[in-house]
Structure 1
Amino acid sequence: MRSFRVLSKEEGSVCLSVSWLEVPERRKEGSTVERRIVPLVLSSFHLLTARQPQAGHFQGKMAKSGAKECWGYAAYDRSGLMKPFRFMRRPCRPEDICFQIKFCGICHTDLHQIKDDWKEIPASYPMVPGHEVVGIVCEVGGAVRNFKPGDRIGVGCISNSCGQCDHCRKSMEQYCERKMIWTYNDKDIYIDGSPTYGGYSTLMVIPERYALRIPEGLPLDAAAPLLCAGITVYSPMKHYDMERGGKSFGVIGLGGLGFMAAKFARALGMRITVVSTSPGKEQEARTSLHADNFVVSTDPRQMKAAEKTLDFIIDTVAAEHSMDQYLPLLKTNGKIILVGIPAKPLECSALSLHSARRCVGGSLIGGIRETQEMLDFCARHHIFCKIERIPISYVNEAMVRLAKSDVKYRFVIDVAASTPPEFRPIQ
Structure 2
Amino acid sequence: MIKSIGYTAKHSFNGLKPHEFEREDPKENEVAIDILFCGVCHSDIHQVKNNWSNTVYPCMPGHEVVGRVMSVGASVTRHKIGDMVGVGCMIDSCRNCEPCRSGEENYCEGPNSWLATYNGPIVPAKKSPDKSNHYGKDNTFGGYSTSLVVPEDFVLKIPSNLKPEVAAPILCAGVTTYSPLRHWGVKKGDKVGIIGFGGLGDIAAKLAIAMGAQVILFTSSEQKTTEAARLGAAVVLNEDLEEEETLRAHKASLDFMLSTIPEKTDLNPFIPLLKRNASLVVVGALEPLSSMDNMEIPGHRRSVGGFLIGSIAETQEVLDFCAEHNIGPDIQIIDMKDINDAYDKVENKEVRFRYVIDISSLKNSLAV
For Structure 1 versus Structure 2, the TM-score category normalised by the shorter chain is over 0.9
For 2:93 and 2:287, the matched residues in 1 are separated by 26
1:143 aligns with 2:75: yes
CA RMSD of aligned residues (A): 1.4
Aligned to 2:213: 270
Aligned to 1:210: 154
For 1:307 and 1:168, the matched residues in 2 are separated by 39
1:340 aligns with 2:284: yes
SS of 1:72's equivalent in the other structure is strand
User: What do the CA deviations read for 1:62-99 (whole angstroms, capped 9, x no partner)?
Assistant: xxxxx222111001101140110011212211100001
1:257 aligns with 2:196: no
TM-score normalized by the length of structure 2: 0.93
Aligned to 2:232: 290
1:100 aligns with 2:34: yes
1:185 aligns with 2:126: no
The alpha-carbon deviation at position 194 of structure 1 amounts to 4.8
SS of 1:266's equivalent in the other structure is helix
For 2:89 and 2:59, the matched residues in 1 are separated by 15
SS of 1:87's equivalent in the other structure is strand
Aligned to 1:380: 324
TM-score normalized by the length of structure 1: 0.80
User: What do the CA deviations read for 1:280-321 (whole angstroms, capped 9, x no partner)?
Assistant: 21111011x110x21111022333422112110001112322
Choose the corresponding residue for 1:364, options 308, 312, 319: 308
SS of 1:385's equivalent in the other structure is coil
1:169 aligns with 2:101: yes
User: What do the CA deviations read for 1:313-332 (whole angstroms, capped 9, x no partner)?
Assistant: 00111232222111011111
SS of 1:317's equivalent in the other structure is coil
Aligned to 2:44: 110
Aligned to 2:4: 70
For 1:373 and 1:168, the matched residues in 2 are separated by 17
Aligned to 1:88: 22
For 2:247 and 2:196, the matched residues in 1 are separated by 15
Structure 2 residue identity aligned to 1:143: S
1:104·1:131 contact (CA, 8 Å) conserved in 2? yes
For 1:249 and 1:419, the matched residues in 2 are separated by 43
SS of 2:162's equivalent in the other structure is coil
The alpha-carbon deviation at position 421 of structure 1 amounts to 5.7
Choose the corresponding residue for 2:346, options 379, 386, 402: 402
Quick one: structure 1 residues 163 and 342, their matched pair in 2 at CA, closer, same or farther if it must change by over 3 Å? closer
Percent identical residues: 39
For 2:139 and 2:30, the matched residues in 1 are separated by 17
For 1:209 and 1:275, the matched residues in 2 are separated by 37
2:264·2:285 contact (CA, 8 Å) conserved in 1? no
Quick one: structure 1 residues 307 and 394, their matched pair in 2 at CA, closer, same or farther if it must change by over 3 Å? same
Aligned to 2:124: none
The alpha-carbon deviation at position 343 of structure 1 amounts to 3.3
Choose the corresponding residue for 2:273, options 326, 329, 332: 329
User: What do the CA deviations read for 1:350-372 (whole angstroms, capped 9, x no partner)?
Assistant: 11101211111111001101110
Structure 1 residue identity aligned to 2:224: K
Aligned to 2:142: 198
Structure 1 residue identity aligned to 2:232: H
User: What do the CA deviations read for 1:89-147 (whole angstroms, capped 9, x no partner)?
Assistant: 1221110000100000000000000000013xx11111100000000000000100011
For 1:409 and 1:350, the matched residues in 2 are separated by 33
The alpha-carbon deviation at position 163 of structure 1 amounts to 1.1
For 1:80 and 1:105, the matched residues in 2 are separated by 21
For 1:69 and 1:194, the matched residues in 2 are separated by 20
Structure 2 residue identity aligned to 1:296: L
Structure 1 residue identity aligned to 2:211: L
SS of 2:28's equivalent in the other structure is coil
For 2:44 and 2:366, the matched residues in 1 are separated by 27
Which 10-residue stretch deviates more, 328-337 or 96-105? 328-337
SS of 1:350's equivalent in the other structure is coil
User: What do the CA deviations read for 1:211-249 (whole angstroms, capped 9, x no partner)?
Assistant: 00000010000110000000000001111111x211110
The alpha-carbon deviation at position 189 of structure 1 amounts to 4.1
The alpha-carbon deviation at position 385 of structure 1 amounts to 0.7
For 2:365 and 2:77, the matched residues in 1 are separated by 32
Which 10-residue stretch deviates more, 100-109 or 162-171? 162-171
1:280 aligns with 2:223: yes
Quick one: structure 1 residues 80 and 231, their matched pair in 2 at CA, closer, same or farther if it must change by over 3 Å? farther
For 1:344 and 1:421, the matched residues in 2 are separated by 41
1:80·1:111 contact (CA, 8 Å) conserved in 2? no
Choose the corresponding residue for 2:174, options 213, 219, 230: 230
Higher helix share: 2
SS of 1:298's equivalent in the other structure is helix
Q: Which runs of 5+ in 2 are unaligned?
A: 122-131
For 1:376 and 1:423, the matched residues in 2 are separated by 36
Structure 2 residue identity aligned to 1:266: I
For 2:67 and 2:307, the matched residues in 1 are separated by 27
For 1:133 and 1:198, the matched residues in 2 are separated by 8
